């Protein structure tokens, strides 16, 4: 186990950096970090941890993906147990045992959990057919393409649909390469948005074929990095009017340095890991099909190249993607970038902590002026 103060030779640094980089790029199912103790029709009691006592509304997977419940306000904390409101069970049978809190909240069949009918459709990406959820708004040519984050499911994006529906905006919530059960990229690894953007471009082509005259792009976490690459690289970006990013990765170098610190690794490990991703050993040491030039995803340095009005929603208490690059980008481009700062919310959970504010901010940014 490597400690921050360890004296590491060049070979040891390279080895540790390769392991670190592979971990960052390898899709892994999220772990169960909580336990359901007891429940009744109105309440649920879990073990105490940072997620189970967080304020707001959340989803709760129990038994892997077999059961999903929605939980509300904290009612009591006694010793090692917390009791919260039980707002509903979307599918499965609730039982005591390992559980996992999620920020998606709406996870069951959308017609039931969200009250909005969605169609399951397929769009053709460069790596194969991809499933997506489609929400149609009558007599509207305005569309949004919604992109979830690293390790998340497309249900992460469902929270935005009621707001988009009220704004008169059709929506397409996409899966992309390396999601569970869909085609993989050439190496089966996350590419930090640097190849996934091609799937977003393909989704944009789908909505253009469906009659879109205007496209807005939404991205959560790594989905935000992917959206920014799409606007930078795709010729279809001319159809994009604005961007909404929730807890986005604005600078991968900053994020990976943060995670190296969380894992008590010297900063040199994350720096060398990024160099390996873009260098000649990208395939042999990491397994990448092509080099990843992560400098292309440093939007603080590249702030002058932004061309689209952008709304950033980010919590200063984000525990996974640090807030500071969002602030730096907003400071660098006040003409284009609007930053809405939340507090308390963990990663991608601003809506969960204050859904009314989240929805108002997005509505005011996305709706035509006449609708305000």
Positive or negative torsion for Cα 23, 30, 151, 364:
negative
Q: What whole-number distance in Å separates Cα of residue 205 and Cα of residue 207?
A: 6
Rounded to a whole number, what is the distance in angstroms from the first to the last CA of the chain? 55
Provide mean pLDDT across the span 273-302. 95
Checking if the pLDDT of 365 tops 50, the result is: yes
Checking if the pLDDT of 8 tops 80, the result is: no
Q: What is the reported pLDDT for 327? A: 99
Provide mean pLDDT across the span 124-132. 98
SS (H, E, C) 329-348: HHHHCCCCEEEEEECCCCCC
- H/E stretch holding 180 reads none
Rounded to two decimals, the pTM is 0.94
DSSP 32: P
Q: Over the stretch 45-97, which tens digit does the pLDDT of each residue have?
A: 999 999 999 999 999 999 999 999 999 999 999 999 999 999 999 999 999 99
Q: What whole-number distance in Å separates Cα of residue 111 and Cα of residue 23?
A: 36
Provide mean pLDDT across the span 203-217. 99
Q: Over the stretch 312-328, which tens digit does the pLDDT of each residue have?
A: 999 999 999 999 999 99
SS (H, E, C) 69-99: EEEEEEEEEECCEEEEEEEEEEECCCCCEEE
Angle at alpha carbon of residue 149, lines to 245 and 162, rounded to 5°: 60
Q: What whole-number distance in Å separates Cα of residue 2 and Cα of residue 4?
A: 7
Q: What percent of the chain has pLDDT over 70?
A: 96
The answer to which of 167-176, 281-290, 317-326, 331-340 has the lowest mean pLDDT is: 281-290
Q: What whole-number distance in Å separates Cα of residue 239 and Cα of residue 241?
A: 6
Distance set, CA 275 to CA 8, 10, 22, 258, 295 (Å)? 17, 14, 13, 16, 10
Checking if the pLDDT of 129 tops 70, the result is: yes
Checking if the pLDDT of 108 tops 90, the result is: no
Q: How many residues does the chain have?
A: 372
Distance set, CA 125 to CA 147, 177, 186, 234, 241 (Å)? 14, 9, 13, 14, 22
Q: What is the reported pLDDT for 114? A: 87
Q: What is the reported pLDDT for 265? A: 92
Q: What whole-number distance in Å separates Cα of residue 218 and Cα of residue 312?
A: 10
Query: What integer best gives the mean pLDDT of the chain?
Result: 94
Task: Sketch out the chain's domains with CATH numbers.
Answer: 34-102 (2.40.10), 110-251+298-367 (3.40.50.1820)
């Amino acid at each position: 186990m490597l400690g921050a103060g360890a004296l590491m030779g060049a070979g040891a640094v390279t080895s540790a950096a390769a392991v670190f980089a592979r971990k960052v790029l390898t899709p892994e199912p999220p772990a169960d970090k909580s336990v359901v103790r007891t429940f009744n029709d109105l309440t649920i009691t879990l073990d105490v941890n940072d997620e189970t006592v967080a304020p707001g509304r959340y989803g709760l997977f129990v038994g892997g993906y077999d059961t999903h419940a929605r939980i509300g306000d904290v009612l009591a904390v006694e010793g090692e147990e917390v009791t919260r409101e039980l707002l509903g069970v979307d599918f499965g049978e609730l039982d005591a045992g390992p559980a996992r809190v999620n920020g998606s909240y709406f996870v069951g069949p959308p017609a039931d959990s969200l009250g909005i009918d969605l169609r399951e459709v397929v769009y053709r990406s460069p790596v194969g057919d991809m499933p997506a959820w489609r929400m149609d708004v009558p007599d509207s040519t305005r569309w949004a393409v919604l992109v979830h984050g690293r390790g998340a499911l497309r249900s992460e994006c469902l929270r935005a649909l009621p707001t988009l529906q009220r704004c008169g905006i059709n929506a397409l919530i996409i899966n992309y390469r390396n999601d569970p059960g869909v085609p993989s990229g050439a190496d089966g690894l996350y590419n930090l948005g640097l190849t996934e953007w091609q799937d977003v471009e393909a989704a944009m082509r789908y909505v253009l074929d469906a009659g879109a005259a205007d496209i807005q792009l939404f991205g959560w976490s790594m989905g935000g990095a992917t959206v920014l690459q799409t606007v930078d690289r795709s010729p279809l970006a001319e159809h994009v009017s604005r961007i909404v990013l929730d807890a986005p990765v604005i600078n991968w170098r900053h994020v990976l340095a943060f995670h190296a610190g969380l894992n008590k690794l010297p900063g040199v490990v994350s720096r060398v890991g990024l160099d390996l991703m873009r260098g000649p050993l990208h395939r042999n040491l990491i397994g990448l099909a092509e080099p990843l030039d992560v400098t292309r995803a440093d939007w603080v340095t590249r702030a002058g190249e932004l061309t689209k009005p952008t709304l950033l929603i980010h919590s200063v208490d984000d525990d996974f993607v640090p807030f500071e690059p969002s602030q730096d980008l907003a400071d660098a481009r006040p003409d284009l970038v609007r930053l809405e700062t939340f507090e308390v919310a963990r990663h991608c959970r601003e809506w969960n902590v204050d859904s009314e504010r989240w929805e108002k901010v997005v509505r005011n940014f996305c709706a035509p002026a006449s609708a305000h």
